[in-house]
C-alpha cells in the first residue's frame, strides 16, 4: 500500500490534505508516461502547444481564488499575496507560450567566409522530459518558471512540489489533466525529500531545482551520476542599497515590503540594507513608522503570516541571537521575536558583518541596516557574500551604475523584486545562488539543446574538405586568409 503524508496549515497545525509518498517505482512510471507524452507534445507546432498552454492558463485564471486558497492554507501566506503570485505566474505562462517560436524556432545565421557556399541554420530542440523540484515559499511562481518554459519549449514535465505545498502542485497538474486528459505532459509526484532524490535518478533529460543551496548541492551530485544537466535556483542574501539622493520614504517602504512580506520567506527578499550616512537617520525613522502597521495574522486578509516550515524557526532565532550577542541594536522586535509559529518583524542595526545574521540566509522577517559612508562601501559589503541572487538600489543619479556593480543575477532600481514579474527578463543567480536561468528567452533556451544545421547551396570555391584537395587549393586558401585576416584593421595606438 502506498504510504501517505499530511500537508498541514502552518498557522493552526490543521490537516489540509493527505498525499501519497511516491517511491522510486512510482517516479519511474511517471517519467515513462512523460516520455511517451513528450513525443506527442514535441511533434505539435509552436502554435499547437501555445493553444494548450493558453487553455491551461485560462483554467488557472478563472479559478485564481481557489488556487490562492490552497496556497494560503498550505503556506500560511495572506490570500492577497497568494493571488498576486499566481497572477505573475499567469503572465509568465502567457509569455512563454507566445514567445517560444520566435526564440526557439529556426533562424538563418551568417555562414562566414570559408563556408560561404553553405546555408547555416540554428534552432532549439526540446530535451524530452524535464524534472522540476520546487520549494514551498512561492509554490506557484517559482516552479512555474521552469514548468511553463519547459512546456513551451516542447518538453514534458514531472513536477515534485515541496512536502509543505503538495496541494498546490497537485492542483496545477489536475488543471492540466482537465484540458488534455489523454496526454500527461504535466504530472505531479508527491512525497518527501526521497521522492525528489528519486526524480534526480530517474533518467530525466534535465532537472530544474529551486530550493536551498544545501539541497541544490545534493541534487547536483545525484544528477552527476547519470550526467543529467541541472538548473539550480538556490538561496540568497539580497540587500537594498540607499544612496544620498534617494527617495527615502519609497526606499523604506520597499525595504519593509522586501524584508517582511511572505514573512521574509522570499529567495529574493531583502535581508540587508546599506544606507548612505546622509539619509540614514531619516531612513530608520521612516522604516520604524511604516513597520508599526505590519502585524502578524493568520487571517486570509492579514499582512504577515506564520513561518511555513517549522524547522526554519530555529535558524531565524539563531541569527537574531547572534546579532544580539554581537552588539546589535533592535529598531523593531527583539531577542524574543521568534514564537512557536510566528516571527515578529525584526529590524536590527549595528550588526557586525561577520555575524551569521549577515553571512547566512535567514529566510524570516528580519532586516539588518548599516550606515555606510559611500556607495563604494555599500557595493563592497553587498558583494561580500557567497550568494548573488538579486538586489535593490534606491538612487536618483547612480541607480543603473550601482545595479551593474552588484554581483547578482538581477537588480531593481527604485523598486524591489520587480524583475521577477517581467516575463522577458531572465531569472537566476551566481555563486551559491545557483546557475542557469528561468524566465525570458534564456529561460526558454534552458530547456532545449541548440541544433546547428548547414545545407550546401553550391559547390565550394576552394574544395578543402576532401582527400582530393590539391596543393594549389591549399595555397589559394592561405593567400585568401592572409589578404582577409593577416592585417589588423585597427592598429593599436602607442603613446610616444
Question: Does residue 162 interact with ligand NDP by CB under 6 A?
Answer: yes
Burial class (CB in 10 A: 0-12, 13-18, 19+), 251: buried
Question: Does residue 71 interact with ligand NDP by CB under 6 A?
Answer: no
Q: Which of 200, 256, 369, 375 binds ligand NDP (CB under 6 A)?
A: 200
Q: In Å, how far are 10, 126, 179, 351 from 346, measured between CA atoms?
A: 20, 46, 45, 13
Q: Which of 175, 241, 259, 267 binds ligand NDP (CB under 6 A)?
A: 267
Q: Smallest gap, in angstroms, from Cβ of residue 409 to ligand NDP?
A: 9
**Chain centroid to CA 92:** 12
Question: Does residue 405 interact with ligand NDP by CB under 6 A?
Answer: no
**Chain centroid to CA 354:** 27
Cell of 439: 524566465
Contact segment (CB under 6 A) with ligand NDP among 127-135, 283-291, 367-375, 459-467 equals 127-135
- Where are any strands of DSSP class E within 385-457? 392-394, 412-413, 434-435, 448-456
**Looking at beta carbons only, is 67 or 275 nearer to ligand NDP?**
67
Contact segment (CB under 6 A) with ligand NDP among 72-80, 160-168, 172-180, 314-322 equals 160-168
Question: Does residue 322 interact with ligand NDP by CB under 6 A?
Answer: no
Question: Does residue 361 interact with ligand NDP by CB under 6 A?
Answer: yes
Order of all β-strands in the sheet with 448-456? 107-109, 118-126, 448-456
Q: Smallest gap, in angstroms, from Cβ of residue 253 to ligand NDP?
A: 23
Distance CA 444, CA 318 (A): 39
Q: Smallest gap, in angstroms, from Cβ of residue 238 to ligand NDP?
A: 10
Which of 161, 118, 117, 159 is CA-nearest to residue 139? 161
**Chain centroid to CA 101:** 22
Per-residue contact track with ligand NDP, 210 to 249, x per CB under 6 A? xxx--x--xx-------------xxxx-------------
Q: Smallest gap, in angstroms, from Cβ of residue 474 to ligand NDP?
A: 53
Contact segment (CB under 6 A) with ligand NDP among 247-255, 368-376, 426-434, 488-496 equals 426-434
Distance CA 382, CA 368 (A): 12
- The partner residues of 133 in beta bridges, in order of sequence, read 160, 209
CB 425 within 8 A of CB 439: yes
**Looking at beta carbons only, is 280 or 427 nearer to ligand NDP?**
427
Number of H helices, E strands in the chain: 16, 18
233 is catalytic: yes
Q: What number of chain residues touch ligand NDP (CB under 6 A)?
A: 34
Q: Smallest gap, in angstroms, from Cβ of residue 269 to ligand NDP?
A: 8
**Looking at beta carbons only, is 135 or 154 nearer to ligand NDP?**
135
Question: Does residue 264 interact with ligand NDP by CB under 6 A?
Answer: no
**Chain centroid to CA 170:** 21
Burial class (CB in 10 A: 0-12, 13-18, 19+), 332: buried
Question: Does residue 160 interact with ligand NDP by CB under 6 A?
Answer: yes
Q: For 252, phi and psi rounded to 5 degrees?
A: -65, -40
Exactly one of 74, 85, 233, 286 is catalytic; name it.
233
Question: Does residue 155 interact with ligand NDP by CB under 6 A?
Answer: no
Helix (H, G, I), strand (E, B) or coil at 374: coil
Exactly one of 74, 85, 200, 267 is catalytic; name it.
267
Q: Smallest gap, in angstroms, from Cβ of residue 446 to ligand NDP?
A: 13
Q: Which of 7, 9, 75, 142 binds ligand NDP (CB under 6 A)?
A: 142
Contact segment (CB under 6 A) with ligand NDP among 83-91, 134-142, 345-353, 391-399 equals 134-142
397 is catalytic: no
- State the maximum Cα–Cα separation within the chain, in Å, rounded to a whole number: 85
Helix (H, G, I), strand (E, B) or coil at 74: helix
Distance CA 319, CA 310 (A): 16
Question: Does residue 7 interact with ligand NDP by CB under 6 A?
Answer: no
How does DSSP assign 99-141, residue by residue? HHHHHHS-EEE--TTTTTTEEEEEEEEE-SEEEEE--SSSTTH
Give the H/E segment covering residue 276: strand 270-276
Per-residue contact track with ligand NDP, 83 to 102, x per CB under 6 A? --------------------
Q: Smallest gap, in angstroms, from Cβ of residue 484 to ligand NDP?
A: 46
Which of 265, 260, 278, 305 is CA-nearest to residue 162? 265
- Of 298-317, binders to ligand NDP (CB under 6 A) are 309
Which of 154, 209, 161 is CA-nearest to residue 188? 161
Question: Does residue 136 interact with ligand NDP by CB under 6 A?
Answer: yes
**Looking at beta carbons only, is 234 or 254 nearer to ligand NDP?**
234
Q: Smallest gap, in angstroms, from Cβ of residue 166 to ligand NDP?
A: 8
Give catalytic residue positions. Answer: 233, 267
Chain positions contacting ligand NDP, by CB under 6 A: 133-138, 142, 160, 162-164, 192-193, 196-197, 200, 210-212, 215, 218-219, 233-236, 267, 309, 361, 363, 389, 429, 433-434
Amino acid at each position: 500500500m502506498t504510504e501517505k503524508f499530511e500537508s498541514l496549515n502552518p498557522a493552526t497545525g490543521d490537516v489540509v490534505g493527505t498525499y501519497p509518498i511516491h517511491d522510486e517505482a512510482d517516479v519511474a512510471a511517471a517519467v515513462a508516461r512523460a516520455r511517451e507524452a513528450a513525443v506527442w507534445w514535441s511533434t505539435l507546432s509552436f502554435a499547437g502547444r501555445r493553444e494548450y498552454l493558453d487553455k491551461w492558463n485560462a483554467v488557472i485564471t478563472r479559478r485564481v481564488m481557489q488556487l490562492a486558497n490552497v496556497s494560503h492554507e498550505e503556506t500560511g501566506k495572506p490570500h492577497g499575496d497568494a493571488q498576486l503570485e499566481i497572477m505573475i505566474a499567469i503572465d509568465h505562462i502567457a509569455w512563454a507560450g507566445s514567445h517560444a517560436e520566435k526564440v526557439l524556432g529556426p533562424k538563418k545565421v551568417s555562414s562566414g567566409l570559408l563556408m560561404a557556399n553553405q546555408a547555416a541554420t540554428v534552432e532549439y530542440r526540446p530535451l524530452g522530459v524535464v524534472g522540476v523540484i520546487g520549494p514551498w515559499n512561492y509554490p506557484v511562481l517559482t516552479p512555474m518558471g521552469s514548468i511553463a518554459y519547459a512546456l513551451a519549449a516542447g518538453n514534458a514535465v514531472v513536477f515534485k512540489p515541496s512536502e509543505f505545498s503538495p496541494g498546490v502542485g497537485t492542483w496545477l497538474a489536475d488543471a492540466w489533466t482537465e484540458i488534455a486528459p489523454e496526454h500527461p505532459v504535466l504530472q505531479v509526484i508527491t512525497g518527501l525529500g526521497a521522492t525528489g532524490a528519486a526524480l534526480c535518478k530517474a533518467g530525466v533529460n534535465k532537472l530544474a531545482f529551486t530550493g536551498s543551496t544545501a539541497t541544490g548541492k545534493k541534487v547536483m551530485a545525484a544528477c552527476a551520476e547519470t550526467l543529467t544537466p541541472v538548473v539550480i535556483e538556490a538561496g540568497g542574501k539580497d540587500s537594498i542599497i540607499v544612496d544620498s539622493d534617494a527617495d527615502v520614504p519609497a526606499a523604506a517602504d520597499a525595504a519593509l515590503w522586501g524584508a517582511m512580506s511572505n514573512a521574509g520567506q522570499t529567495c529574493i527578499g531583502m535581508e540587508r540594507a546599506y544606507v548612505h550616512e546622509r539619509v540614514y537617520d531619516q531612513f530608520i525613522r521612516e522604516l520604524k513608522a511604516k513597520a508599526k502597521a505590519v502585524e502578524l495574522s493568520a487571517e486570509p486578509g492579514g499582512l504577515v503570516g506564520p513561518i511555513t516550515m517549522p524547522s526554519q524557526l530555529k535558524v531565524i532565532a539563531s541569527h537574531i541571537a547572534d546579532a544580539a550577542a554581537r552588539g546589535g541594536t533592535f529598531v523593531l522586535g527583539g531577542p524574543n521575536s521568534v514564537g512557536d509559529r510566528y516571527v515578529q518583524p525584526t529590524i536590527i542595526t549595528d550588526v557586525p558583518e561577520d555575524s551569521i545574521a549577515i553571512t547566512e540566509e535567514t529566510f524570516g522577517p528580519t532586516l539588518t541596516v548599516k550606515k555606510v559612508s559611500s556607495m563604494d562601501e555599500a557595493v563592497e559589503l553587498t558583494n561580500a557574500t557567497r550568494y548573488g541572487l538579486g538586489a535593490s538600489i534606491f538612487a536618483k543619479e547612480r541607480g543603473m551604475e550601482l545595479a551593474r556593480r552588484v554581483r547578482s543575477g538581477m537588480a531593481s532600481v527604485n523598486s524591489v523584486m520587480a524583475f521577477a514579474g517581467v516575463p522577458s527578463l531572465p531569472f537566476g543567480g551566481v555563486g551559491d545562488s545557483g546557475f542557469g536561468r528561468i524566465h525570458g528567452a534564456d529561460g526558454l533556451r534552458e530547456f532545449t539543446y541548440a541544433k546547428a544545421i548547414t545545407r550546401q547551396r553550391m559547390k565550394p570555391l576552394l574544395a578543402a574538405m576532401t582527400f582530393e584537395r590539391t596543393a594549389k587549393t591549399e595555397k589559394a586558401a592561405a593567400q585568401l586568409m592572409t589578404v582577409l585576416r593577416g592585417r589588423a584593421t585597427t592598429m593599436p595606438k602607442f603613446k610616444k
